[in-house]
Amino acid sequence: MAKHIDLSGLKKQPLKKKETPKIEEVVSAIHKEAATEKSEMEEENKEPVKRITLDLPASLHTKLKIRAVQEQITIRSFVIDILEQILD
């Protein structure tokens, strides 16, 4: 036979949720850092910049975006790093 335990005197306490940053917060932080990085780069390196446009399959774009977030850098910085490694 099970014992009856009186729990009526105990206070209910809310469960503590493990706080994980939302993806929007992470992306926002990365973009703020990138803006700072970009302005510092522009000050250091006055090399002209050329813009390119790519059409990527959606699945590849998703993989690229996920990898950039994991590396905590922008897609722009990630692609530039890869291109510099391959082309240098």
pLDDT tens by residue, 12-66: 777 777 677 677 777 788 778 777 766 666 666 678 888 999 999 999 999 999 9
pTM: 0.50
Question: How far is residue 21's CA from residue 4's CA, in Å, rounded to a whole number?
Answer: 42
**pLDDT for the residue numbered 82:** 94
Helix, strand or coil, per DSSP, at residue 76: helix
Tell me if 3 sits within 8 A of 45, measured CB to CB: no
Question: How far is residue 58's CA from residue 49's CA, in Å, rounded to a whole number?
Answer: 26
pLDDT tens by residue, 67-77: 998 988 889 99
